[in-house]
Structure 1
Amino acid sequence: MAEIKAPMGGKVIKVSVEVGAKIAEDDEVAVLEAMKMEMPILSEDEGTVAEIKVEAGQAVEAEQVLVVLN
């Protein structure tokens, strides 16, 4: 099981995956807005999305888990 975490605090402006989706390394899983910049959050692993822990519009802190992969 792998966790994809926010690299810094900000606001989730888009969740790019859904539960059950198969993703590869470097696939976009979400977009975070921080310091007035949009930052794509990419998967460091491949797997299947088991759980999405955030939604668009939600504020997140650094190292907060965004997506869980199997």
Structure 2
Amino acid sequence: MSDRTARLRVDWPSCRAHGVCHELLPDIVRLDEWGYPIVTGEVTPDLLAEAKAAAKACPKLALRLA
């Protein structure tokens, strides 16, 4: 994933709406009315470190970088 953009994907059956992804990556993750994440953009190279941290910090490991 050098200089190309990546996508952040949510594993919906695993997600439990803890909101950690939004706290760590508010530039591209917003929460819906129930607290579930809505990914609103691509992971650009300057956001890659934050996206990796969000995926690693997810309590249910429901985030994936692709």
Q: TM-score, normalised by structure 2?
A: 0.29
Question: If each structure's strand is expressed as a fraction of its own residues, which one has the higher value?
Answer: 1
Question: If each structure's helix is expressed as a fraction of its own residues, which one has the higher value?
Answer: 2
Q: TM-score, normalised by structure 1?
A: 0.28
